Amino acid sequence: MRPSLIMAVRHGESERNLALRQAGETPLVYERGDDEVTLTGLGRTQATALGRLLASLPAGEVPELVWCSPYLRALDTWELAQQAWGVDPLPVTVDERLRDQESGAFAHYNLAAIKERFPEEVARREAAGAYAFRPPGGESLGDVVTRLRDFLGDLDGRADGRRVLIVAHDSVVLGLRHVIAGSPDPELAAVLEFAPVLNASISVWRTGGARFELVRFNDVAHLGP
């Protein structure tokens, strides 16, 4: 039986998010692996605020099961949120299909550095579109959608009508919006209208029957001003 509710959360601000923001238009080489990046102080505060939000939810919206990306920033977000929530540990499944979009040869560079080192690939990206472009050794957003469609198929059999929390990444939340809506893949580019997915934002879908209804998307009201 499919979940009765899906709440998808992007991780709190990561060290890489901060480094990219501080670099701005200056080329940046960021050495740490994508799966190793953890949270900044602000990211930890955001994760704690997420936990307080979970503690304030009415009984019919409280998650009962958790699925999490294997990347450290997502795992840390959930750990801090659960501590702030103050409940007994929930069942958590770490699933590789919830990892962030893989950047391949671009993994250690910001856009300014990519333009310097891979100008031909930047031209190819502009021609293909951001949703369809696959960097060397990496993934397109379409590739992310393919693994998320497989994940949601499995979730239908494992959630058994319960409420599910997913802690992952911006590309995952965007991909979930596309897959849950049942949109045809030629329309995938349209989902980029809802980017960027903000750090520690929540997106909620609820079902009472055959289809999910989007309740809110990219909501950060719980983080305060």
pLDDT tens digits, 144-163:
999 999 999 999 889 989 99
Q: Which of 78, 104, 80, 108 is nearest to 93 (CA)?
A: 78
Q: Indicate the pTM of the whole model.
A: 0.96
Q: Check residue 211 and give its pLDDT.
A: 84
Q: Where are the domains of the chain?
A: 5-16+39-102+139-223
pLDDT tens by residue, 178-213: 999 999 988 999 999 999 999 999 999 998 667 899
Question: Distance between CA 26 and CA 112 in Å, rounded?
Answer: 6
Q: What is the pLDDT of residues 115-144, one digit of tens each?
A: 999 999 999 999 998 889 999 999 999 999
Give mean pLDDT, residues 99-111.
96
Chain centroid to Cα 135, Å, comes to 19
Q: Which CATH superfamily is domain 5-16+39-102+139-223 in?
A: Phosphoglycerate mutase-like (3.40.50.1240)
Closest CA to 201 of 172, 162, 159: 172
Q: Is it the case that residue 89 has pLDDT exceeding 90?
A: no
